[in-house]
Amino acid sequence: MKKLLFTLILLCVSSLHAEDAKFWIGPTLQWSSIAEQNTALVGLRVGYTPAPPLHVGICYSRVASSISHLNNNIPYSVSYAAFGVFAEPVIFSSRSIHLLVPVSINAGELDISSPGFLEKRSGGWFSGSDAGLFVEMNVTPQFRVAMGGGIRMTTGIESYGLSDKDFRTLFAGVSLKWGTNAPESP
C-alpha cells in the first residue's frame, strides 16, 4: 500500500506542470463527533481524473485530536487511522464553481489505550464508508478548494464500551487539491 501511495504521489508531483495534468494530491480536514466528542480528522487524498466529470483515487485519514472515553470509570484514549478508495462525480464540471459528490470505502485500525502506569492497547479492524456533498472552486488552473459535509458509517467496532454507533456521524470538511487541470470558466 505504501508503494502504491508513493507511486501515485510521484506521478501527481511530476504532472503538476504538465499541460494536461490528470493526477492531483490534496490534504483534507474534517470536523465530526466521535464517541460524543468534537473531533478533528486529517487526511491525504491522491487522485486521478480519467474524465472531467469524475475523480477517483486513494485516501488516508486519522484522528488529529484526542478523544477521551470512560468505561467503568476508567479513562481511555481513542484513535484510529484508515486507508481507502474513493470516487467523486463532478456536477457542472465546466464551471469554476461546481459540486462534488465524494463516496469512499475504507478500512482502518482502532487503538484504545488507558493512561497511567499500566497502559493497555487494543487494536481492532473496522470498515467504513463516507458520502458527502461539497462545493469546489477553481482558484487557479492547478489549485482547487472545496467545502462541504456528509455522513460517515462504520462497521466492526465493538471494544471497551464503544460500538459502531459512536463512529457513525455527520461531518463537515475542507479539502485542497494541487495538480488538477481545472477547466476554463465559460
User: Is 184's pLDDT higher than 50?
Assistant: no
Tell me, yes or no, if the pTM score tops 0.85.
no
Residue 6 belongs to what H/E stretch? helix 2-14
Burial (CB count within 10 angstroms: exposed 0-12, middle 13-18, buried 19+), residue 72? exposed
Does residue 149 contact residue 120 with C-beta atoms inside 8 Å?
Answer: no
CB 59 within 8 A of CB 104: yes
pLDDT at 161: 72
Contact present, 112 and 162 (Cβ < 8 Å) = yes
Domains of the chain, each with CATH number or no CATH: 2-178 (2.40.160.20)
Q: How far apart are CA 52 and CA 79, in angstroms?
A: 36
Here the contacts of 161-168 (C-beta below 8 Å, separation 24 or greater) are: 161/69, 161/70, 161/71, 161/72, 162/35, 162/69, 162/78, 162/110, 162/112, 164/126, 166/34, 166/35, 166/36, 167/34, 167/35, 167/126, 167/128
In the predicted model, is pLDDT for residue 156 greater than 80? yes
pLDDT tens digit string along 51-105? 878 999 999 999 887 777 665 566 667 788 899 999 999 999 889 999 999 999 9
